[in-house]
Amino acid sequence: MTERPQLVASRAALPTPSRPNLGTPERAVSLLAGTLLIVNGLRQGGLKGWSQALVGACAAWRGYSGTCRIKSALAHTPFEQAFEQDRGWDGSKVISRSITVNKPREEVFAFCRNPADLGALVPWIDAIEQTGERTYRWIATGPRDKILYCELEQCDARDGRKLHWIAAPQTRFKHDIQMLFSDAPAGRGTQIKVIVACHTSFGAAGYALAAAISKFSDKALLNLLRSIKQQLETGEVTTNRMRAQGAKDFLFVHPAANAPQDSTTTPATGGIA
Amino acid sequence: MRALTWQGPNKLQVETVDDPSILNPRDAIVRVLLSSVCGSDLHLLGGYVPTMQAGDIIGHEFMGEVVETGSAINQFKKGDRVVTVSIIGCGHCEHCQRSDFSCCDNSNPNPTATEIAYGQPACGIIGYSHAFGGFAGSHATYIRVPFADVNLFTVPEGVSDEQAVFVSDAVPTGYFAADNADIQPGDTVAVWGCGGVGLMAMTSAYLLGAERVIAIDRFADRLRLAEEKAGAIVINYETTDVHAALLELTGGRGPDRCIDCVGMEAHGTELDYFYDKTKQMMRLHTERGTVLRQSIRACRKGGTVSVVGVYGGLLDKFPMGAIVNKALTLRSGQQPGQRYVKRLFEHIQKGELDPSYLLTHPMGLEQSAEGYGLFKDKRENCLRAVFRPE
């Protein structure tokens, strides 16, 4: 029997009146506030009053039905909850993408385990430095030419099956990146599944910010996976440019030179997830 | 170099642009000798395909000679006379290895738009909008051909430039349409659209064993070509009830195989055409489905409807009930020409197929905007304007 894949990107269940996602106190406050806004709005009249009444009606409905889509959107997915429990994080945003590469698993794994191979395919990465036996510094140029970096440590790799990186201990925002490799059915090559998790702070606001950033990260992750597929299957990454101007000059430093820190260097605050 | 560029809906301009260069090991640079207009370009021209940008070079049906190759290309050398399949395949993904080159996973560098629209990204197509890769087109002095080892083919002796240029798109599209229709001996095949692709589909249907071909259009000159060059029985839909005529011609059964070579800008005389046209003008849907509905309705029970006319998005009033209750098979796709090119050249060499009559208006590249005008308005019996860059 094949291993059942984890569905990382699944949403939390949508609330319905028969399955409310608000507790009794939340419902009572919403109903009361809504009623007050309706009464006050109707008493005031005019555009302002009617707007107030409309907001009040929404709040009253929220209390009456016991359902709130905003709260639902900010609820952590079952996978995120399990992930947080496993890592002891108080919050996380997790994204996942999969792709099938028409090459044997050993070849795909060998390509992906070399950071130089991956870095060359990420347009926004300028360089990767090896800073230790299993630690790498990913360097990118941020807004206003600020140099951003993210230290990642390779850990818990299973040969041919799994690559795993975690953010170095001093990094402000924790990341956990797993790349899982499995054989596609009927000799169709190798399935790569990437799970990127970012530790979120500041409760619901932090989660909402991470969720917004993850829309872009998700796209970047998909682009990276497609580039890996193209490079491995065709030996090149497809382009529609007419000429080579503006081509990226990627640098991989191995091993890391103990170069002095640039004064403009700041730790990456966004991250991948 | 000089190139014909799209500047906006129904605005084309020849201008000077950068020459292309080799960017990847499997690239080739081809000097364009002949580059043809195609019916599918009219969808770009009319603004029906989103993601076009001002300055985009259009054109995807061409032949020429190799002037430079990337480091991984050793089967072609400078001066080789070649034709390029307009639908780009990488040759190595799961789909290309099954010869489904038009489903290629790797040839579209801009996969987002088609992924959103279709669920999975579409392949790259030369000169056919940014949704299909944003590749520079062939109405230019030079063109960069990606994955040249898969998409370039040497034109053999005995095949003229004027024949070879259509092996880039019109001939393989027509042949693919007929092949997809699963034609059996004795079959009657109805083909909607007597443009270049439709005419090639008719000839291909005979090559694949059809007993009779029925052609449907409204332009007298095209119907005449269908009759004279492709041996079809013709129906003018402006003067004939197509459904009734098709039943009449097939003993009440309906055609065994129906081929749609028209696509999203179908014309008609029935109410559904005006409904489609209105919704399309209001941008409420993208396709005019008159031909598709007609072909599904006419097709005999258990028959096949093969669609190669270009559809890009959403269609209203699609007769799904007829498909289910008549057990029809609906097959479609962009042409995987790489599968057919060698076979098509053999047919041409044997004299079984001659697409050169499609070339009605040879012109210079500087007159290409005018050529599109002729082609779009069907003036001077223009079937294909073909440009020869100076």
Tell me the pLDDT of chain B averaged across its residues: 96
For residue A243, give the nearest of B21, B24, B94 by CB distance.
Answer: B21
Does the model's ipTM exceed the 0.95 cut? no
Measured CA to CA, the distance from residue B390 to residue B373 in angstroms comes to 20
**Residue contact B20–A219, C-beta within 8 A:** no
pLDDT in tens, A66-85: 999 888 888 888 888 888 88
Instruction: List residues in chain A touching B: CB distance below 8 A.
Output: 100, 102, 188-189, 219, 226, 229-230, 233-244
pLDDT at B253 over 70: yes
Q: Domain residues of chain A, as ranges?
A: 24-66, 78-239+248-267
Contacts 24+ apart (CB under 8 A), B234-239: B234/B194, B237/B268, B237/B269, B238/B269
Pick the range with the lowest mean pLDDT from A89-98, B125-134, B150-159, B346-355: A89-98
For residue A235, give the nearest of B20, B26, B109 by CB distance.
Answer: B26
Contacts of B24 in chain A (CB under 8 A): 236-239
Q: Are B327 and B204 part of one and the same domain?
A: yes
Q: Residue B61 is part of a domain; what is its CATH number? A: 3.90.180.10
Contacts of B134 in chain A (CB under 8 A): 240
pLDDT at A266 over 50: no
Q: Are B12 and B154 part of one and the same domain?
A: yes
Q: How confident is the model at residue A168 (pLDDT cuts 50, 70, 90)?
A: confident
Measured CA to CA, the distance from residue B289 to residue B266 in angstroms comes to 7
**Tokens encoding A228:** 């890996």
Q: What is the pLDDT of residue B140?
A: 98
pLDDT at B164 over 80: yes
What percent of chain B has a predicted confidence (pLDDT) above 90? 95
Q: Are B242 and B300 part of one and the same domain?
A: yes
What percent of chain B has a predicted confidence (pLDDT) above 70? 100
Measured CA to CA, the distance from residue B383 to residue B357 in angstroms comes to 9
pLDDT at A155 over 90: no
Q: Are B61 and B162 part of one and the same domain?
A: yes
Q: How confident is the model at residue A270 (pLDDT cuts 50, 70, 90)?
A: very low
Contact B210, B187 (CB under 8 A): yes
Q: How confident is the model at residue B390 (pLDDT cuts 50, 70, 90)?
A: confident
Cα nearest neighbour of B104 on chain A: A230
**Residue contact B90–A233, C-beta within 8 A:** yes
Q: What is the pLDDT of residue A4?
A: 56
Q: Are B71 and B213 part of one and the same domain?
A: no
pLDDT at A2 over 60: no
Q: How confident is the model at residue A1 (pLDDT cuts 50, 70, 90)?
A: very low
Q: Which of B295, B311, B332 is the last residue of a domain?
A: B332
**Residue contact A240–B110, C-beta within 8 A:** yes
Pick the range with the lowest mean pLDDT from A98-107, A145-154, B311-320: A145-154
**Residue contact B26–A188, C-beta within 8 A:** no
Name the maximum alpha-carbon separation found in chain B.
Answer: 60
**Residue contact B133–A240, C-beta within 8 A:** yes
* CB proximity B147 to A under 8 Å: yes
Q: Are B270 and B313 part of one and the same domain?
A: yes
For residue B25, give the nearest of A230, A236, A240 by CB distance.
Answer: A236
Q: Which of B290, B312, B332 is the last residue of a domain?
A: B332
For residue B23, give the nearest of A219, A234, A239 by CB distance.
Answer: A239
Q: How confident is the model at residue A259 (pLDDT cuts 50, 70, 90)?
A: very low
Nearest one of B44, B50, B18 to A241, comparing CA atoms: B18
Measured CA to CA, the distance from residue A232 to residue A240 in angstroms comes to 19
pLDDT in tens, A185-219: 999 999 999 999 999 988 888 999 998 998 899 99
φ and ψ of B236, to 5 deg: -95, 115
Mean pLDDT within B212-222: 97
Q: Which of B312, B332, B352 is the last residue of a domain?
A: B332
Q: Are B182 and B302 part of one and the same domain?
A: yes
Q: Are B80 and B154 part of one and the same domain?
A: yes
**Residue contact A234–B135, C-beta within 8 A:** no
Contacts of B72 in chain A (CB under 8 A): 235
Q: Residue B270 is part of a domain; what is its CATH number? A: 3.40.50.720
DSSP label at residue B318: -
Mean pLDDT within B42-68: 94
Contacts of A238 in chain B (CB under 8 A): 24, 90, 106-109, 124, 133, 146
The residue type found at A97 is: R
Q: Are B53 and B151 part of one and the same domain?
A: yes
- Quick one: fold of A78-239+248-267? Alpha-D-Glucose-1,6-Bisphosphate; Chain A, domain 4 (3.30.530)
Our count of domains for chain B comes to 2
Q: What is the pLDDT of residue A5?
A: 57
**Residue contact B124–A242, C-beta within 8 A:** no
Contacts of B17 in chain A (CB under 8 A): 242
Mean pLDDT within A234-244: 90
Contacts of B91 in chain A (CB under 8 A): 234
Per the structure, the complete domain to which residue B261 belongs is given by 174-332
